[in-house]
Structure 1
Amino acid sequence: MLFADLLGRFEGVTSEADGGHSALCPAHQDSRPSLRIWRGSDGKVRLTCRAGCDTADVIRAVGLGWSDLFDVTGPGAVVAAGRPQLVPVAQTAALAAYADRCSLALADFAGEWPERARTYLSERFGLDLDTAAELGLGVDDGHQGGTSPTCRAATALTRG
C-alpha cells in the first residue's frame, strides 16, 4: 500500500516536525487530532491514539486490516524503526520533584495568579483555579528550580 493512500483514509491529517502525522481518530468522537501516524524506515506504519483507542478499532474504523500496515511504500517522511529511548529514571524523578514543588507553590500563589496565567488555563484547558488545584497543577514563580526552556517559558507565563 502507498503511504499517501493509507493517510487518505484518515481525516484532518497534518504533518508533524518529527516526521509523523496527526489525524482525527476515527475510533472515537475526536474534535482535536489525537491519532499519531508514522511510518518507520522498516516500512511499518505505527498508529497511536493518545485518547487510548485500541489500534484494532482505529484500523477497522477506516476499513484497513493489520496487513495494510506493513510494507508501506511511496514518498513521505520515515522515522527510525527502532524503539525510542526511555527517559532516564533520574530525569523522570527530577521532573516529578519539580512538579511537586510547583503544585505546593500553587497553594501559596493561587489567589494571586496573574491574569495571563488564568486566561491561559481557561482558554487552553477550560480550567478554573479550583480545578487546577484539584488536579495538582502549579506554577513556577521563579523560585521552584525550573531551569529548562520549558520551565522558563512557564515561569514567564505565570509572571504575567
Structure 2
Amino acid sequence: MRMSAILDRLEEWRDYQSGEWVARCPAHDDGKPSLWINLKTSGMVGLACRAGCAFEDIVAGMGLLPRHLFNVDAEGLVAVAEARPEPVSPFLTAGLRVWLDSLPAGEDAGPAVAYAQKRFGISPAEQGRLGLRWWPGPQPCPEWVPASFVRYPRLVVPMHDWAGVARGAQGRDLSGRCPGRWISLANPEGFEWQRYGVFPGTDPAAPWVITEGMSDPLAIVADGYNAVGVRGAALLNNDPSTLDALAAGLAGRDVRVCGDNDRSGREFTRTILAALHEREVRARRLTLPAGFKDYAVWRETR
C-alpha cells in the first residue's frame, strides 16, 4: 500500500517533520490533530493517539487492517530510522545556538515581540530573558530547519534544558497562512531534538507547571510562575529518557500538570502525573475552567 493512500484516509493531516505527520484521530471525536503517524525505513507505519485510543480502533477507523501498515511504499518520502535516535550532539547544539543568535531579537524583532506580548501577555524584557526570536521569512538556514518552517514569519521559541542550554526550538506562524501553527525543527539523521523546554520565571520558588506545547509556558511565565512545555506528548510513554529528565529537574519542587481541556489533554495530564509519581516526584493536577481549551486562552480572557 502507498503512504499517500494511508494519509488520504485521515482528516486534516499535515507534515510534522521528515517521516512524521499529525492528523485528526479517526477513533474519537478529535477537536484538533492528536494522531501521530510515522513511516519507518522497514516500511512499517506507526500510529499513536495522544488521547490514548487503541491501535486497533485507529486502524479500523481508517477502514484498514493492521496488515496494511506493513511493507508500505514510501513513494520517495523520507522515513525515520528504526533505532532510537540519540540526543542532539554538542556539534548540533552549537549550531542551533549560532542560528538562534543570528535571528532578530528585541527592537529588531518587532512583529514577534508584539505578538508574544498581545497573545501571551509576556513582556519584552521577559521575552529577552527567555531568548525569544523572530524568523522574518524565507532566507538561507541550516538543513534541519524544515521547509514548512521557512516559508512563513514566526515567533521562534528556544527549548532549553535544565542547565539553560537550547536543545531544540519551535516556531509559531505569524502570518495566519501556515497549516501548522507551531513547527518543530527537523531531526538530523540519527539524532533527535529535545522534546521539552524549560521556561523559568523570575521566582524559582514559585510553582512549576507542565503543559503541552510552547504557547502555555509563555502565558504561565507571564503570570509569574515557572513552566515546562512538552512537545510530542503522544510519544512520551515510549520515551523514558524524557520522563526521567523531567523528574530529575522537578524533584523537590511544587509541581502542577495542566494539559489542554480536551480528551487528549486529560490523557496527557494522567500520563505525566503517573510518570512523575512513579519517579517519586510529587505533583498535582491543575484543572482549567470549563470552556477554555488551554492555559493561554484562559489567561487571555481573564
- The TM tier, using the shorter chain, reads 0.5 to 0.7
* Residue 129 of structure 1: aligned partner: none
Q: 1 or 2, which has the higher strand percentage?
A: 2
Where do 1:24-35 residues align within 5 Å?
Answer: 24-35=24-35
- Partners of 1:90 and 1:57 lie apart in 2 by 30
- 2:285 paired residue among 124, 135, 138: 135
Q: 1 or 2, which has the higher helix percentage?
A: 1
Bigger relative contact order, structure 1 or 2, given CA contacts below 8 A and separation 6+? 1
Asked if structure 2 preserves the Cα contact closer than 8 Å seen for 1:22 and 1:34, the reply is yes
Q: Kindly, what percent of the aligned residue pairs are identical?
A: 34
Higher CA-based Rg: 1
- Partners of 2:25 and 2:247 lie apart in 1 by 32
Where do 1:68-87 residues align within 5 Å?
Answer: 68-73=68-73, 74-83=75-84, 86-87=240-241
Asked if structure 2 preserves the Cα contact closer than 8 Å seen for 1:3 and 1:75, the reply is no
SS of 1:29's partner is: coil
* Residue 55 of structure 1: aligned partner: 55
Asked if structure 1 preserves the Cα contact closer than 8 Å seen for 2:255 and 2:284, the reply is no
Asked if structure 1 preserves the Cα contact closer than 8 Å seen for 2:19 and 2:40, the reply is no
* Residue 38 of structure 1: aligned partner: 38
SS of 2:37's partner is: strand
Asked if structure 1 preserves the Cα contact closer than 8 Å seen for 2:43 and 2:71, the reply is yes
TM superposition score normalised by structure 2: 0.33
RMSD, aligned CA:
2.9
- Give the count of matched residue pairs: 111
Structure 1 residues 34 and 88: alpha-carbon distance in aligned structure 2, compared to 1, 3 A threshold? closer
Task: Give the AA of the match of 1:3.
Answer: M
Structure 1 residues 102 and 26: alpha-carbon distance in aligned structure 2, compared to 1, 3 A threshold? same
- Partners of 1:89 and 1:13 lie apart in 2 by 27
Structure 1 residues 16 and 96: alpha-carbon distance in aligned structure 2, compared to 1, 3 A threshold? same
SS of 2:36's partner is: strand
Structure 1 residues 90 and 17: alpha-carbon distance in aligned structure 2, compared to 1, 3 A threshold? same
CA shift for structure 1 position 72: 0.5
Residue 103, structure 1, aligned to residue 260, structure 2 = no
Structure 1 residues 92 and 52: alpha-carbon distance in aligned structure 2, compared to 1, 3 A threshold? same
Q: CA-to-partner distance for each residue in 1:64-101, whole Å, 9 max, x for gaps?
A: 0111000001132310112467417863431331xx52
Asked if structure 1 preserves the Cα contact closer than 8 Å seen for 2:18 and 2:78, the reply is no
Structure 1 residues 76 and 53: alpha-carbon distance in aligned structure 2, compared to 1, 3 A threshold? same
SS of 1:12's partner is: strand
Structure 1 residues 96 and 49: alpha-carbon distance in aligned structure 2, compared to 1, 3 A threshold? same
Unmatched 5+ stretches in structure 1: 105-120, 127-132, 138-160
Task: Give the AA of the match of 2:5.
Answer: D
Task: Give the AA of the match of 1:101.
Answer: R
Asked if structure 1 preserves the Cα contact closer than 8 Å seen for 2:40 and 2:80, the reply is yes
* Residue 65 of structure 1: aligned partner: 65
* Residue 14 of structure 2: aligned partner: 14
Task: Give the AA of the match of 1:17.
Answer: Q
CA shift for structure 1 position 136: 5.3
SS of 2:253's partner is: helix
TM superposition score normalised by structure 1: 0.59
